[in-house]
Chain A
Amino acid sequence: MNIGGWICMTVAVSTISSLFFWCCWKMFSGKPEQSRGDSSNDVDANEDYMDENSDRRQ
């Protein structure tokens, strides 16, 4: 592999890896930047939302 190949591979792999790990880190540690509600407990929120919709339609 020549020097150009090394540069291309390093840039591509490191850029994508950085993006991937940044997203993972942000996903598991981040808080909502701008939220219309608390999404900290997604499952409960989801169930409430579904129940609410169901009740209103009735």
Chain B
Amino acid sequence: MLFFRPNIKITIKMHQKKTENWASQLGVILAVAGSAVGLGNYLRFPGQASLYGGGAFMIPYFVSLLILAIPLTWSEWALGRFGGRHGYNSAPGIYWLAGKKSFWGYAGTLGIIVPLIINMYYVYLEAWCLLYALQYLGGTLRMLGLPSFTLFEAISPGFSLGSSEQYGQFFSGLVGMEQNGSNFSGSFFSPLLISTVFCVLFNFYLIYRGITKGIEKFCKVAMPLLLLCSIVILIRVLTLGNPTGTPGQSYLDGLGFLWNPTREGQSILETLSNPEVWLAATSQIFFSVSVGFGLIVTYASYVHPKMDIALSGLTATSVNEFCEVVFAGLMIVPPAIMFLGMGALTPEKLGSSLSMGFIVLPNVFELMPGGPLFGFLFFILLFLAGVTSAISMLQPAVSMLESSLSFKRSHSVLLTFLLCATGTFLVVWFSQNAKMLDTFDFWAGNLGLFLLATLQTILIAWIWGKKKMFEELDSGAHMKVPRFIGFVLKYISTPYLLLIFGFWAWKSLGDRIHELCTDYVAQFAFGMVGVTAAIFLIITHFSMKHWKKFEENSQKLEETSYKKEGSK
């Protein structure tokens, strides 16, 4: 095939400006791991595991990791670098190049839209984490006898509200759950608004700085810090003993709540025969490993062709799993049981990452010795995890604008900023019951994600082909990827993904379509998703004409070059 002819330098296909590459292998691993490690690891995983059978949940979880996450991660890295070595740095271009049909170009647009829409509300969650961290910092300073500060009226530094109900009320008021527009009433420059604006600007500043100076540099600092915070908190949790002295509220009881495979009146087999458990485990893997987002494809396209991607892909996945299973699995649920008892973790609170993070855990930090310090460390950890994930969601759109419209980086960043800031404003304004956030999350973070992952797996396994995937994975490899991964991807991952996607659509789509017909906020959110999709579909449509011309010219150049070599 054209792409691996030895004498024709791939560089003639580089139809863009000078393409930036990652400066080091560690940098790209930390950036991809940072993209994957997010709020879902620390808040969603313990909740989902406790809710869906504890230890029994880990069986479908590991199955999904082995047959979906790892093969898909490797395939995404391979596809991404394949695109990058031909001068394509955005999902539409890479999909179009691999699929050789316009359909795949349009399908690749999902790899821009999905992360961009998720970023619109993710940055709002990032702002909550920053705000909570600063509030705890005030408490930590007071603990040390230094001048302290508080961000919230009538609340002392470090939070002391007394009960989960009061934390719930405080949180609802803070994020404006009662009424739309309440974030803008009263003082315009409320701490939450300032925090949101700061997070948006900070993310875009890092993106503006570029792959090497912005994303890579930040992740090289943020990821080790995140791991350090996790270790400190884990050590604290492990040394708590039984702080209340109440029977049934020790660390081991907390671990049992999360890990025991049998529940009252329910055996392991009964748990495993429930398809919802499999759906929950697969969704969790998707959320946590960041496969099917279009992010790995974009990041991998900036990897140098001679750099390893096989071990890098596996390392990034293992860092993510280490944070999720080892850190989150051992440090989030036990303290909640130790200080608040079994009754504190109701299915409602376990099912919602927001309740777990912003209502239950602050209550725990209030009761924990040295709580403000550990509260600060925990929310800084979540903030760092949030930033590393949020910036990875912006890069696909920026790459697309840079490569397709030949925009300067500053112009691409500005256009993406305008789009994202509009979406974030809508999320902040329509805050009642977090409706806008929830609707964005469903259409982009759930439907878009499943759809993109399914299409991408079909593209790689059935159209692009495992031969090219392994050729790409072997280039500069520090480990040999087992060949059965190709079989798994083609004959196990694809049907499994289709099955899970079908079950999810059957279970969830009906209610959401009904909501879309009746709720104006849902319609507004869907409209925003539609506008974003339309913008990038139009850009893709015109870009594909340019790409087709370029590929034709490249082919002519190659043929001319062959003739010249033949005549010599």
Contact A9 B329 (CB under 8 A): yes
Nearest chain A CB to B181 CB, angstrom units: 44
Total of A-B residue pairs, C-beta within 8 Å:
148
CB distance from A36 to the nearest CB of B (A): 5
Q: How large is the interface on B (under 10, 10 to 19, 20 to 34, 35 or more residues)?
A: 35 or more
Chain A residues lying within 8 Å of B55, measured Cβ to Cβ, are 4-5, 7-9
> Residue A19 contacts which of B14, B23, B253, B321 (CB distance < 8 angstroms)?
B321
Interface residues on A, range: 35 or more
**In the bound complex, what is the Cα–Cα distance between A16 and B256 (angstroms)?**
19
For B318, what are the chain A residues with a Cβ–Cβ distance below 8 Å?
16, 19-20, 22-23
Q: Which of B138-146, B364-372, B428-436, B474-482 lies at the binding interface? A: B474-482
Residue in A closest to B56 when the chains form the complex, CB atoms: A8
Contact of B19 among A16, A34, A36, A50 (CB under 8 A): A50
Q: For chain B, what secondary structure do more than half of its interface residues adopt (helix, strand, loop), or is it mixed?
A: helix
Judge whether A34 and B311 touch: CB under 8 Å: no
- What mask results when residues 27 to 44 of chain A are scored 1 for a CB within 8 Å of chain B, else 0? 100111111111100110
| CB-based contact B305/A49 at 8 Å | yes
Q: Are A50 and B21 in contact (CB under 8 A)?
A: yes
Among A39, A50, A57, which residue has its beta carbon within 8 angstroms of that of B476? Answer: A39
The chain A residue sitting closest to B29, CB to CB, is A27
Asked if B546 lies at the interface with its beta carbon under 8 angstroms from chain A, I say no
A12–B26 CA distance with the chains assembled, in angstroms: 26
Q: Is the CB–CB distance between A35 and B21 below 8 Å?
A: no
Q: Which residues 269-288 of B sit at the A interface, judged by CB distance below 8 A?
A: none
Bound-state CA distance A52–B11 (Å) is 8
Least CB distance, B116 to chain A, in whole angstroms: 27
Quick one: which of A13, A17, A46 contacts B304, CB cutoff 8 A? A46
Q: Among A2, A4, A19, A23, find the residue whose CB has the most chain B CB atoms closer than 10 A.
A: A23
User: Hey, which chain A residues are within 8 Å of B476, CB to CB?
Assistant: 32, 35-37, 39
**12 pairs, CB–CB < 8 Å, chain A vs chain B:** A7-B55, A9-B255, A12-B325, A17-B322, A26-B315, A31-B478, A32-B476, A38-B306, A42-B307, A50-B18, A50-B19, A57-B11
Known A-B contacts: A8-B56, A9-B329, A27-B25. Give 10 more (CB < 8 A): A1-B253, A1-B256, A1-B259, A5-B260, A8-B58, A8-B261, A23-B315, A27-B478, A33-B474, A46-B21
A residues at B contact (CB < 8 Å): 1-2, 4-9, 11-13, 15-17, 19-20, 22-24, 26-27, 30-39, 42-43, 45-46, 49-50, 52-54, 56-57
